[in-house]
Amino acid sequence: MALTDVTIRNARGKAKPYKLADSGGLYVLVKPDRAKYWRFKYRFVGKEKLLALGVYPAVRVADARAARDEAKRLLTEGRDPATVRKEEKRAVQVSTANTFEALAREWVEQKRNAWTPGHAARVLESLEDNAFPDLGFRPITEITAPELLAALRKIEARDALETASRIYQRCSAVFRYGVVTGRCERSPAADLRGALKAPKRAHHAALSAADLPEYLGKLETYQGHLQTQFALKLLALTFVRTGELRGAEWSEIDFEHAEWRIPAERMKMRAAHIVPLSRQALTVLEQLKSLTGGGRYLFPNQHKPDACMSENTMIYALYRMGYHSRATGHGFRATASTILNEQGWKPDAIERQLAHAERNKVRAAYHRSEYLPERRKMMQAWADYLEALASGGKVTPIRKAAA
């Protein structure tokens, strides 16, 4: 039976807390001192959870039911009401306090005119993943060098030394911005010079032709998220840069003409790029479309619906497949380049497909579609080559060297 104000008001305290049930998971928890707290019990991802909805009589019956209904609406959208509440509270704190996160977001906004949208998004995402959890809520003036170092040590503990170095540089830039805008007097990052482990500077690990059959076999039986498997397949088939793949949008895919047109603002060299799509790539895209075709990104972030896949997703998948230090997402570009050159394709066509920089600016203006017929043949032959390796069939050279 639904609760009424009279029922709640007349409820007496007992030796132990007890519940007065309303409906739909809503109830009042009556404490021994007669304090009465609204609670909403629900399940999220198979786990039972509680959401505090306030204290009676400050929160009346109608208000508590409205809050319950709003929580249920969030659940139908696949969102945890408790997490949403924390995010809202955090947003208020960030907007009203002189926190590291507030300053960092302001710094990124100030840099947007000088950066590409993709780079700005990556910088902010890296701070959200690696700095904000430990430092974001802290007032900028109270963060100490040991505190900053502790946050960076957590990244080092993952053996992500390159990431730790980048986060240090970005945090240092945020503090410098705070100094020049009068929000803090000095940067604690200045005290950490030489405190971090130096990342090893090496070429991106890449698979050889002999490694590919085993890798493609493992990829076909990958047990992780299906979306990640599709990303790794497209990476092998197109050998674009990982950032270009992660940020790919469905509006860039032309199924009719079998082309992926990447706009200039998402390219490292600031020039639009055409990727001819093989039959195999189109098949992967059709399968992926049934999963993510209703949104903006081919590979949306599983935790941030408005963002694309995290920069760590594919590399961690490679680690799980047993390729730690043996392969990287970027390394597939080197693998494809080596094999295609060995098989006799025109070096200029390969370079165009890799979207490498053209030093001659006049020639660069024509390079978006240069060698496109040759590149279409090459990309289809490359996909056929990978398919044959994956199936264990006989592999013939992609193409005889040009006479």
Residue 298 has pLDDT above 80, yes or no: yes
In this predicted model, what pLDDT tens digit does every residue of 133-156 receive, in sequence order?
Answer: 999 999 999 999 999 999 999 999
Residue 136: DSSP 8-state: I
18, part of any domain = yes
Amino acid at 175: F
pLDDT of residue 58: 94
Q: Based on the domain organization, do 174 and 241 belong to the same domain? A: no
Q: Based on the domain organization, do 301 and 380 belong to the same domain? A: yes
Closest CA to 241 of 335, 124, 329: 329
- Report the run of H or E that residue 366 belongs to, with start and end: none
Torsion, Cα of 144, 148, 151, 152 (10° steps): -160
pLDDT of residue 126: 93
Q: Based on the domain organization, do 185 and 224 belong to the same domain? A: no
pLDDT of residue 201: 54
The CATH number given to whatever domain includes residue 18 is: 3.30.160.390
Better-scored residue on pLDDT, 269 or 302: 302
Give the domain extent around 245: 212-391
> Which residues, other chains included, contact 290 with Cβ-Cβ below 8 Å and sequence gap of 6+?
none
pLDDT of residue 362: 42
Domain boundary among 80, 109, 129: 80
Q: Based on the domain organization, do 218 and 358 belong to the same domain? A: yes
Q: What is the DSSP string of 59-81?
A: S-HHHHHHHHHHHHHHHHTT--H
In this predicted model, what pLDDT tens digit does every residue of 342-351 receive, in sequence order?
Answer: 999 998 889 9
Q: Based on the domain organization, do 68 and 104 belong to the same domain? A: no
pTM over 0.75? The answer is: no
pLDDT band at 226 (very low <50, low <70, confident <90, very high): very high
Instruction: List residues with catalytic annotation.
Output: 241, 268, 330, 333, 356, 366
- Report the run of H or E that residue 115 belongs to, with start and end: none
pLDDT band at 324 (very low <50, low <70, confident <90, very high): confident
Q: Based on the domain organization, do 150 and 71 belong to the same domain? A: no
In this predicted model, what pLDDT tens digit does every residue of 237-259 receive, in sequence order?
Answer: 999 999 999 999 999 999 999 99
202, part of any domain = no
Q: Based on the domain organization, do 49 and 179 belong to the same domain? A: no
In the predicted model, what is the mean pLDDT of residues 211-229? Answer: 93
**Diameter of the chain by CA atoms?**
97
The CATH number given to whatever domain includes residue 174 is: 1.10.150.130
pLDDT of residue 393: 56
Q: Based on the domain organization, do 157 and 242 belong to the same domain? A: no
Residue 376 has pLDDT above 80, yes or no: yes
Residue 369 has pLDDT above 80, yes or no: no
In the predicted model, what is the mean pLDDT of residues 272-301? Answer: 95
First to last CA, the chain: 88
In this predicted model, what pLDDT tens digit does every residue of 257-275 receive, in sequence order?
Answer: 999 999 988 887 778 899 9
In this predicted model, what pLDDT tens digit does every residue of 180-205 receive, in sequence order?
Answer: 999 899 999 999 988 888 776 555 67
Q: Based on the domain organization, do 135 and 229 belong to the same domain? A: no
Q: Based on the domain organization, do 254 and 187 belong to the same domain? A: no
Instruction: Tally the domains of the chain.
Output: 3
Q: Based on the domain organization, do 157 and 285 belong to the same domain? A: no
Residue 402 has pLDDT above 70, yes or no: no
Q: Based on the domain organization, do 247 and 382 belong to the same domain? A: yes
CA distance 158 to 324: 12
Decide: 61 and 99 in contact? Cβ < 8 Å: no
* Token pair listed for 400: 């005889």
